[in-house]
């Protein structure tokens, strides 16, 4: 892999989505490449964000997100608000999108904390715990790479800036202007792949495999990750589609996530609604997709592409070739590449890559970065994040010797190096290897049959077969 000594040496097509910002310590990064396209002098908010004098995130000012249950959250990484662990917070079934955005007390407190220098961030540290931790541990979070993208967006950032200024003046926000990113996850969790690191409740295919006899003894996921999500009733989903249609004049970016959105029929109905409203020509659509199919039950996504201002596919990839097919089981690398090339024929299409750094992907992710660099004409940008759980599937759980060899391969990408330098926190990679071999057993005899040590041979010497483990090792593994 090509090595980069620092952020300045990384090409823009690799770095503009976030990678490469040097970790300065204390949760801060080098923001040299933020505000690259800013015309004129930076204003007060610009300086506060660039100098990291405030812990700012744009999500509370322009993100409209719900969980699969329909529960409103500040963003897809946000935790439940305190006091709502047993009594759920506002839900799209009984609270309108506008009512939540304007009046939710927790959301307004986040806005105050994130725009006030010296704030103790009391609520932010709870709801935004994931970003706070990733910034402290690895020097890069979703908040930071989102800001890098947004501050270089000459269309969106001025609208965010104006919304913040009005809030600081009036203590109020309004659903106005075309600046909102809508991510409604209430359409379900249908998915056609079985990605080894995905939380089972996020995929119908994962739920089937994780409850199979072959995986009955796995110790990776707790019971809370294995329950079946019932989802919202059809009449409620129709109402959600109507709500989104009503706010279409304010939507900058409609992001469709799953499950796998390209195999979820309700999303096609939502696209129809937006097209019929006449607003599609001013809206960017983003599909967070595995890109394994372009047609589902006679529904072709290419039918809708020409109707939108921008149609963006953010493709979830973690490796190339056989490694990709193993990590994201049931996928086919060659078909994914063909589908990327097919949609690129449309002039309003953008394709991004978004990956996850995990136990397996970190072994080959450097190959994906190099492949992306070699095929940059197909893409706009690449991005990634370190997975936060389950703990035994994180990259830091790998054997020490393997991590030492990998650190050099990721020169110029401190967030990946930092997770490789992290200790295992007493977790045992034997449990991880056992789980992966259980997956192999589940798929034995199918067209998706693959063997862990054929694809990742460097792991084989570290595996202790069950019949060779001592009683002490077996007891320790089960108690972690």
**Residues 51-76: tens digit of each pLDDT:** 999 999 999 999 999 888 888 999 98
Upstream peptide bond of 30 is cis (omega within 30 degrees of 0): no
Q: Is residue 415 part of a domain?
A: no
Q: How far apart are the first and last CA of the chain?
A: 36
Contact call for residues 416 and 357 (beta carbons, < 8 A): yes
**Residue 127, H or E segment:** helix 124-127
Q: Is residue 419 part of a domain?
A: no
Q: What is the CATH number of the domain that holds 334?
A: 3.20.20
Q: Is pLDDT of 84 > 60?
A: no
Q: Is residue 225 part of a domain?
A: yes
Q: Is pLDDT of 238 > 50?
A: yes
Average pLDDT over the chain, rounded to an integer:
90
Percent of the chain whose predicted confidence (pLDDT) is above 90? 69
Q: pLDDT band at residue 472, thresholds of 50, 70 and 90?
A: very low
The two three-digit tokens of residue 430, written as one number:
């034997």
Q: Count of residues for the chain?
A: 480
Which tens digit of pLDDT belongs to each residue from 290-345? 999 999 988 999 999 999 999 999 999 999 999 999 999 999 999 999 999 999 99
Instruction: Return d(Cα 360, Cα 159) in angstroms, integer.
Output: 40
Q: Is pLDDT of 480 > 50?
A: no
Which tens digit of pLDDT belongs to each residue from 39-53? 678 899 999 999 999
pLDDT of residue 157: 95
Q: DSSP letter for 58, please.
A: S
CA nearest to 180, candidates 347, 60, 346, 354 = 60
Q: State the residue range of the domain holding 332.
A: 7-392
Q: Is pLDDT of 227 > 90?
A: no
The two three-digit tokens of residue 400, written as one number:
């020490």
| Residues sharing a CB contact under 8 Å with residue 461, sequence separation 6 or more, in sequence order | none
Mean pLDDT of 274-287: 93
Domain count, the chain: 1
Contact call for residues 128 and 146 (beta carbons, < 8 A): no
Q: Is residue 106 part of a domain?
A: yes
| Residues sharing a CB contact under 8 Å with residue 443, sequence separation 6 or more, in sequence order | 329, 449, 450
Contact call for residues 413 and 372 (beta carbons, < 8 A): no
Instruction: Return d(Cα 273, Cα 256) in angstroms, integer.
Output: 14
| Strand boundaries in 153-261, DSSP class E | 180-184, 194-195, 251-256
Mean pLDDT of 421-448: 96
Which tens digit of pLDDT belongs to each residue from 85-142? 555 678 888 899 999 999 999 999 999 999 999 999 999 999 999 999 989 888 889 9
pLDDT of residue 27: 87
Instruction: Return d(Cα 247, Cα 241) in angstroms, integer.
Output: 10
CA nearest to 394, candidates 353, 367, 414, 423 = 423
Q: Is residue 118 part of a domain?
A: yes
Name the least confident of 225-239, 295-309, 342-356, 413-427: 225-239
Upstream peptide bond of 357 is cis (omega within 30 degrees of 0): no
Q: Is residue 2 part of a domain?
A: no
pLDDT of residue 479: 40
Mean pLDDT of 136-149: 89
Which tens digit of pLDDT belongs to each residue from 18-43? 777 888 888 888 998 899 877 678 89
Instruction: Return d(Cα 149, Cα 156) in angstroms, integer.
Output: 10
pLDDT of residue 188: 83
Please give the residue that has the higher pLDDT: either 230 or 399: 399
Instruction: Return d(Cα 63, Cα 51) in angstroms, integer.
Output: 23
Contact call for residues 256 and 267 (beta carbons, < 8 A): yes
Please give the residue that has the higher pLDDT: either 7 or 421: 421
Q: Is residue 465 part of a domain?
A: no
Q: Is residue 76 part of a domain?
A: yes
């Amino acid at each position: 892999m090509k090595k980069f000594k620092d952020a300045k040496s990384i090409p823009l097509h690799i770095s503009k989505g976030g990678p490469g910002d040097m970790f300065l310590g204390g949760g801060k990064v080098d923001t040299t490449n933020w505000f690259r396209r800013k015309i004129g002098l930076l204003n007060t908010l610009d300086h506060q964000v660039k100098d990291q004098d405030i812990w700012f995130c744009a999500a509370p000012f322009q993100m409209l997100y719900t969980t699969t249950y329909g529960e409103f959250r500040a963003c897809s990484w946000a935790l439940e608000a305190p006091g709502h662990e047993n009594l759920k917070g506002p839900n799209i079934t009984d609270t309108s999108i506008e009512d939540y955005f304007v009046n939710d007390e927790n959301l307004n407190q986040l806005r105050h904390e994130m725009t006030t220098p010296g704030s103790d961030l009391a609520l932010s540290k709870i709801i935004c715990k994931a970003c706070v931790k990733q910034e402290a541990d690895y020097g890069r979070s979703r908040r930071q790479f989102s800001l890098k993208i947004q501050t270089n967006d000459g269309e969106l950032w001025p609208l965010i800036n104006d919304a913040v200024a009005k809030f600081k003046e009036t203590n109020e926000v309004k659903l106005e202007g075309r600046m909102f990113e809508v991510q409604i996850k209430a359409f379900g969790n249908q998915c056609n792949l079985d990605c080894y690191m995905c939380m089972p409740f996020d995929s119908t295919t994962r739920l089937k495999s994780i409850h199979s006899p072959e995986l009955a003894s796995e110790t990776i996921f707790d019971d809370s990750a294995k329950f079946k999500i019932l989802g919202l009733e059809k009449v409620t989903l129709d109402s959600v589609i109507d709500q989104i249609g009503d706010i279409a004049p304010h939507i900058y970016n409609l992001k469709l996530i799953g499950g796998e959105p390209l195999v979820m029929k309700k999303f096609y109905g939502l696209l129809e609604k937006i097209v019929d409203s006449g607003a599609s020509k001013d809206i960017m659509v983003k599909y967070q997709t595995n890109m394994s199919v372009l047609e589902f039950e006679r529904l072709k996504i290419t039918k809708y592409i020409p109707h939108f201002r921008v149609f963006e596919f953010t493709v979830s990839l973690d490796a190339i070739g056989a490694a990709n097919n193993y990590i994201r089981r049931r996928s086919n690398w060659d078909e994914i590449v063909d589908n990327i090339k097919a949609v690129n024929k449309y002039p309003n299409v953008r394709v991004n890559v978004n990956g996850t750094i995990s136990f397996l992907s970190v072994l080959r992710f450097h190959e994906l970065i190099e492949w992306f660099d070699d095929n940059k004409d197909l893409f706009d940008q690449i991005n990634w994040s370190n997975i936060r759980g389950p703990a035994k599937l994180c990259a830091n759980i790998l054997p020490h010797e393997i991590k030492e060899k990998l650190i050099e391969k990721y020169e110029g990408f401190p967030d990946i190096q930092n997770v490789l330098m992290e200790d295992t926190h007493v977790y045992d990679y034997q449990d991880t290897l056992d789980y992966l071999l259980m997956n192999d057993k589940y798929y034995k005899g199918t067209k998706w049959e693959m063997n862990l040590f054929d694809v990742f041979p460097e792991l084989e010497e570290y595996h202790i077969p069950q019949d060779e483990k001592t009683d002490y090792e077996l007891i320790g593994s089960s108690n972690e």
